[in-house]
Structure 1
């Protein structure tokens, strides 16, 4: 068994000692391999336990085995590239991929750059069994092995972790709206992680490593221009500041591009546009052979990209599936479309704008290239970060400290999708900050046991507010048909209809404070030359607190239409007067809608104060011209029953839209010590065949949350992953082929579930009409399972060509889920409050997926290189709806990216044509019964890069 023995960390050596003795031709070949799916073999790292000498030999072997005649064009037949060690960093050391007993996929930064694959969505198209689930920058999610589609809430940890240069991102949005450039490699590790990698995650980790500073001068840039005026530029500068002591590296990027859909209301606004400016500066300090320090600073200033609203509408079905209260099919039920845009937009109120119609505008134009909305604004995001990585070599040990800070800003403005004054200033605002510290001790390798152990701490502070605002047309939009007909009958009613919501604003303010403290250790026990047993354990203490409130921040034009108060459990005084919302009969006495007073425990009570009665008189005078007398309440009492009914309608519209309100409430805290562990034997038959088995267990923290003013504590998510795998090198070292079968069982899976709405049920009880109400919130699904087969490989047996491939068969389903929300086609009127979908496939989960990347490069014209690359990603059909609506199915699809170019073989200059979505696959990203989100279109760009 060829074990890697501990030597000095190469970063502790001088630049001259670190420099490799390769010819220019050999360097070209090595660079060419790096452009394929091989990680950079000779890259150094503060955690590198592999000797520089061994890596030099490996690199030279690679170069010599694959050297092509780059100085002549006569030699046409080339030898296949002989693959050597593919290396990964997923266990905090540089290790051979074939020696790591985990399911891991690797793609290099050079390959990503070749096809301008710059974001997490692009990464997922190049590795197996990883799914990017689109949404706005705050709501997108990642899933591994079909699990994890549920969008992360601000109070919730992600199931799939993202680590960038050793810094754990505890919040998915940190990786959204970001161009990842100057990347060394992206590794995806599947299964629960935590005994080594930052914060514990229950499904897997995406580990992104950027290129580090070196003492060799570097200066190169890339500029591209393409469809939709997509202008992109990046520059990398670096080298020695003080020889042998201080080096730096700066990475700077900028991108501006229009989106493919135009907002007719404001034609300067497009959807899926890009507006990104970022910088990352790193400093490497090497004062001695035993100590190094790397400081990294990054910033992406706030900028706006329009993503919300990138969808089209289709007619809502006119029938429900017909599910009755027992859950049985009761035949076809007519959908009255009472709140459908078709009904609303055909009201007189909206027909007065002659240039906008339901059929021609709401359903979209024939070319499907534009949307018409007045209050959609770009989502503004921005992020900053800083980290310090310190490394000490102490005899036979390596001590690493990573201290980091990261923040994120998000602001969204939403709209209902029309040019009318309905939604105003709605959306969310997030101010996120995280602080982390990791201290790690690594032993030497080469003995009976090598190990790593350490401490980890991470704290997050999130201020999140959700805003809702309404305009002058909102009352006419949100009124029921009966309410609208009564209010639109005369001028007084129309004034009430307008003021019911005009300029009303509601804000829900949330404060999330989470802290995670852990101790971890992992050891490799070399029981014999072929047999190694890996064991690891982690104990994490989670403390999570949430406080929240929901209040009206502006009463707008209709303050007199407020209720007196809401939420008897947590009283919110709105300053209005009490009146009935509907005609009510009690003990034979009929009380018309609008009658002063209210129903309390089934009895009518006129409990308005003098001030409230005077407010009612002012309302009667304002809207109906009724004279105010000296008797409080007399003016309002003189209104006709029809007029009182109009007031009741306006007040009901207002109360319904304002929804639940509550003063500051603290959720029940989540405090728990959570274990994670791994047990994994590995048997290495020879250098070309390794088999392994693993049992990984991990837990994701529970959620402390408030829903409608009541605390709903979500339990921790518990994952057990079992895996048996084989790693091989075949066909004279030209094929790396790895495969595994896996089984993942999850208990208390966190996603949207249906439960009793404590707030509304309490309100119903107090009002004398006791009825249990239900809501959806992020709770626990009892049992989920994923099982299947994965393959991953790299082939170089064709001259000048490398082929990367991965694929998976995946069966992810609910073992037990009795309380899922009903899909829309079942209707909410008369349907059971929830459905049992045990045995059904999870939303967003593909049965089959496959990725194929091909890279070809050959010498031409004496000192030039021709190159072309292609990447195809395929997935089978899936259901895009969390409630598994029959309308949510999305067909299987494949997307292909392609590039072709010519450059000098030393990299001084290169020009390429890059085409994304080459065959213009137009499969929807997702759909519901009356909406669908189009695929991103085919785009082409010219990319020019070179050294300077």
Structure 2
């Protein structure tokens, strides 16, 4: 009998004992209880208890766990599990939860997990639904490109696709460089998903300062297996999954292939074209693995996966518009009352303009209706693929050297338009992203002494965004939409005597000012990491274990950007002569259209041709004051759409040496009760970026490194013969120079827009101080016959201790005399509910030999939170809880199962407002049927 070198089992143990261990494991693993007499099972289990205890002692003497690796706990190695009898319900689920709990019981930090068995019962394979089933970790409601993962209320990064995540994700020991990859992927064949809270890095992978999500998938084995599942349901849902694996060459080469195809209509149809739905699903995933074992000391695992281009009109591709509230929250000094909102500057006011009222079938009522009604929209496209090689070399029974090499890419293109029946923005527009990452890790796990385990290694990473761009395509309604009230009045004047008459020249300028204009801001980022890490764990006594780790990394960040005109559209003649360091070749004039003195002969000739084009006069000098004012207004409309152009500019690079460290202790009060305490320090590299421009070049806005000090005190308990497992942790994390998406006030753009609203540029920035503190609880209970209960919950207080220059939310906007910033110190972080939790229950009852009736219920709840990074009070969500159920019948000793699936059973409204005048609907109830089978 041969065992994997990664288990670290001494091969000197007797073959008789290993065969006995195998038999014990088989006896304890899930089997169809009705096919055997329950009392006979209990007697057999009791007879094996002594042998299991002896085997556990043998494993302990042999150093059964490779230092730093998850302990090789199995259902067979947990003696109390042998006494559970035949009323444990789904024993595969029970064993999986129990094994995970035992492995994490002595971990000196807050860690929670969900098993693959639990996820499969609800056909859960997307990242958001997976992590929502674990305590105190959430994801944002966005498309994958702007997804953010936050632990303990920290990590919200919506809209910042290049921001390195504070919460990392590692799949089979390969770290994802950006959260978008994690959010895009469907996860198949999952063994466990764990969330490690707080700073990480001394144990390898990429360092993170808020937490890490660790996903482990099932490895190939030399036992043939085949599984398949099909789900059909409402909204034309079809999900097909298949897993096939087994030996290619016995004891040398094995494979495992998993395939998933998922498609579904969204719950919201486009009134203009019902063939397109919003929040649809269109994903295909293929994952192939090879396991090579040329000798007992060498094991190689090769993985390749691909998610080809899919097309989804996803959650943040739309939000329903609301009429802005009538007043701001600031006091107008002239009246002493809340300042009134000037609706002429609001979107609803724009639609009241005569240009848009020409259409009788679309009005403000349609604009603010909670329905999709758009003429131009493209689906977003996403794709990712990757490959990795994990080679393990067992140097000695207690020493393993690993080499983990990986590559992955990611591509995204946004297809958004104006989301209306008008075309001030023309699809496809928005963000385009391409990304590649390479990583190499060398990791040594050793046990130099019986009481001492060690992990050390080297880690190298390179992440490249060759293109991260924002493209704006303007349509035929852009001039009328973006013109300020003063500009619009000049270009579409109303004659009271002839109210239906239009000014042809003014209308022509409104049309041409921005029609077919395409502008692009294109950025490039290069991130490099070189790190060395070391971690020691010392069993100071039979009860006390001490852990210490450190990591030193050299981080470099380079960035460059440019902003340019990709297409001039229909009115290049309305360009200025130059914008910053970009020469355009137009002519310059003031707001009234009067030519400036610095125009040369070529510019004056262009001005004459412009006068001919729009007003049928030979020379610019022949224009009337009113005509020149119209040209000045049109040029102003266009200038605002051009914004801050600049040639390719290098940002000030970030270079830094960062340190991660941890100290922890765990003390066993008894064999089943442990207390743990830890201190951890983490650092996240700063950012190199270009934000806006000066007359000479793009403006570099460097961001400093983020730092955190985290403290934890917890207790772990396994009681009632493993029928009760509980973990509670109190924590406090203090962040300095916390990095998050923010907005930088742009006075130049504000003046160009002329609409009374402060204009901002999206950027990354430092918040001086942030604190997150609270309590986390994980409980699993198997004491009720045929029933499994698991609860994960948390109370979290995550707030800004100091944030004196936060951008103002909508209700503090307008002509607020306090300016474009406000003090948000003391405010709760966006996306951070105080209370959150997940309750899972499984009831599996054997009704006949080979037949099991099962019901699973999952309830996920959270209290309200602010859904806007500017902390608008209007975006506070209400508390809600979503209940999912699965009820079915298992046949043929688990080889076939049919189940009814219901998501959001009570059709709870979990909608939110992403800003003070927008509404995003929730996800309504869905019903489907799943068929699963295996050979």
TM over 0.5: yes
Partners of 2:32 and 2:131 lie apart in 1 by 25
Matched, 1:470 2:469: no
Does the CA-based 8 Å contact 1:88-1:97 persist in structure 2? yes
Does the CA-based 8 Å contact 1:8-1:51 persist in structure 2? no
Matched, 1:874 2:876: no
Q: What's the counterpart of residue 455 of structure 1? A: 458
Does the CA-based 8 Å contact 1:274-1:305 persist in structure 2? yes
Q: What's the counterpart of residue 381 of structure 1? A: 382
TM-superposition CA deviations, 1:672-710 (whole Å, max 9, x none): 000000000111122111011100111111110000120
CA RMSD of aligned residues (A): 2.9
Partners of 1:416 and 1:922 lie apart in 2 by 26
Partners of 1:545 and 1:105 lie apart in 2 by 36
Secondary structure of the residue aligned to 1:209 is: strand
Q: What's the counterpart of residue 363 of structure 1? A: 368
Q: What's the counterpart of residue 178 of structure 2? A: 171
Does the CA-based 8 Å contact 1:858-1:867 persist in structure 2? yes
Deviation at 1:869, TM superposition (A): 0.6
Deviation at 1:420, TM superposition (A): 1.3
Q: What's the counterpart of residue 434 of structure 2? A: 431
Partners of 1:715 and 1:897 lie apart in 2 by 43
Q: What's the counterpart of residue 778 of structure 2? A: 792
Does the CA-based 8 Å contact 1:227-1:939 persist in structure 2? yes
Does the CA-based 8 Å contact 2:229-2:240 persist in structure 1? yes
Change (3 A) 1:329 1:682: farther
Change (3 A) 1:187 1:544: same
Partners of 1:124 and 1:51 lie apart in 2 by 23
Does the CA-based 8 Å contact 1:560-1:576 persist in structure 2? yes
Q: What's the counterpart of residue 42 of structure 2? A: none
Q: What's the counterpart of residue 769 of structure 1? A: none
Change (3 A) 1:893 1:311: same
Deviation at 1:881, TM superposition (A): 1.6
TM-superposition CA deviations, 1:139-169 (whole Å, max 9, x none): 1211111111232624321010000000000
TM-superposition CA deviations, 1:448-470 (whole Å, max 9, x none): 31110000011011121110010
Matched, 1:314 2:322: yes
Matched, 1:594 2:596: no
Does the CA-based 8 Å contact 1:749-1:780 persist in structure 2? yes
Matched, 1:751 2:770: no
Does the CA-based 8 Å contact 1:888-1:927 persist in structure 2? yes
Matched, 1:519 2:519: no
Change (3 A) 1:921 1:25: farther
Partners of 1:19 and 1:616 lie apart in 2 by 91
Aligned mate of 1:919, from 893, 906, 913:
906
TM-superposition CA deviations, 1:341-380 (whole Å, max 9, x none): 2212222222222211111x1111xxx4x30122321110
Mapping for residues 522-921 of structure 1, pairs under 5 Å: 522-567=535-580, 571-581=581-591, 593-597=592-596, 606-627=597-618, 635-708=619-692, 709-753=698-742, 755=744, 757=746, 775=761, 777-831=763-817, 832-904=819-891, 906-921=893-908
Deviation at 1:126, TM superposition (A): 1.1
- The range that moved more, 461-470 or 238-247, is 461-470
Does the CA-based 8 Å contact 1:901-1:910 persist in structure 2? yes
TM-superposition CA deviations, 1:770-813 (whole Å, max 9, x none): xx997553111100001111111110000111111011111111
Does the CA-based 8 Å contact 1:217-1:240 persist in structure 2? yes
TM-superposition CA deviations, 1:400-458 (whole Å, max 9, x none): 11100010010002222212122123211111100000100000386131110000011
Does the CA-based 8 Å contact 2:66-2:446 persist in structure 1? no
Change (3 A) 1:323 1:713: farther
Change (3 A) 1:56 1:826: closer
Deviation at 1:68, TM superposition (A): 4.8
List runs of 5+ in structure 2 lacking aligned partners: 1-5, 35-55, 494-502, 693-697, 753-757
Secondary structure of the residue aligned to 1:614 is: helix
TM-superposition CA deviations, 1:18-74 (whole Å, max 9, x none): 993369875325999xxxxxxxx99x999896897x74732686355333599xxxx
Does the CA-based 8 Å contact 1:20-1:56 persist in structure 2? no
Change (3 A) 1:441 1:314: same
Partners of 1:514 and 1:743 lie apart in 2 by 30
Deviation at 1:84, TM superposition (A): 9.7
Partners of 1:443 and 1:30 lie apart in 2 by 40
Partners of 1:688 and 1:470 lie apart in 2 by 66
Does the CA-based 8 Å contact 2:135-2:794 persist in structure 1? yes
TM-superposition CA deviations, 1:546-568 (whole Å, max 9, x none): 0100000110100000011111x
Secondary structure of the residue aligned to 1:879 is: coil
Deviation at 1:500, TM superposition (A): 0.1
Secondary structure of the residue aligned to 2:325 is: coil
TM-superposition CA deviations, 1:476-518 (whole Å, max 9, x none): 1111222222212300110011000010000111110110110
Partners of 1:208 and 1:380 lie apart in 2 by 25
Partners of 1:712 and 1:79 lie apart in 2 by 56
Does the CA-based 8 Å contact 2:287-2:306 persist in structure 1? yes
Matched, 1:482 2:492: no
Does the CA-based 8 Å contact 2:148-2:158 persist in structure 1? yes
Does the CA-based 8 Å contact 1:86-1:97 persist in structure 2? no
Does the CA-based 8 Å contact 1:300-1:382 persist in structure 2? yes
Partners of 2:391 and 2:900 lie apart in 1 by 41
Partners of 1:24 and 1:531 lie apart in 2 by 34
Change (3 A) 1:30 1:622: farther
Secondary structure of the residue aligned to 1:728 is: strand
Q: What's the counterpart of residue 86 of structure 2? A: 67
Partners of 1:18 and 1:636 lie apart in 2 by 99
Deviation at 1:906, TM superposition (A): 2.4
Deviation at 1:657, TM superposition (A): 1.4
Q: What's the counterpart of residue 415 of structure 2? A: 413
- The range that moved more, 109-118 or 403-412, is 109-118
Partners of 1:487 and 1:211 lie apart in 2 by 66
Change (3 A) 1:250 1:662: same
Deviation at 1:731, TM superposition (A): 3.1
- The range that moved more, 521-530 or 292-301, is 521-530
Does the CA-based 8 Å contact 1:108-1:184 persist in structure 2? yes
Partners of 1:18 and 1:810 lie apart in 2 by 47
Does the CA-based 8 Å contact 2:92-2:117 persist in structure 1? no
TM-superposition CA deviations, 1:730-779 (whole Å, max 9, x none): 23431111101100000001124455649769x99xxxxxxx99755311
Aligned mate of 1:257, from 252, 257, 264:
264
Q: What's the counterpart of residue 300 of structure 1? A: 307
Mapping for residues 170-189 of structure 1, pairs under 5 Å: 170-189=177-196
Q: What's the counterpart of residue 207 of structure 1? A: 214
Change (3 A) 1:474 1:214: same
Partners of 1:618 and 1:407 lie apart in 2 by 49
- The range that moved more, 790-799 or 859-868, is 859-868
Q: What's the counterpart of residue 404 of structure 2? A: 402
Q: What's the counterpart of residue 279 of structure 2? A: 272
Does the CA-based 8 Å contact 1:509-1:549 persist in structure 2? yes
Deviation at 1:274, TM superposition (A): 0.5
Partners of 1:669 and 1:681 lie apart in 2 by 39
Change (3 A) 1:49 1:186: closer
Partners of 2:769 and 2:778 lie apart in 1 by 29
Deviation at 1:266, TM superposition (A): 2.4
Change (3 A) 1:758 1:444: farther
List runs of 5+ in structure 1 lacking aligned partners: 33-40, 71-77, 90-94, 582-592, 598-605, 628-634, 765-771
- The range that moved more, 643-652 or 926-935, is 926-935
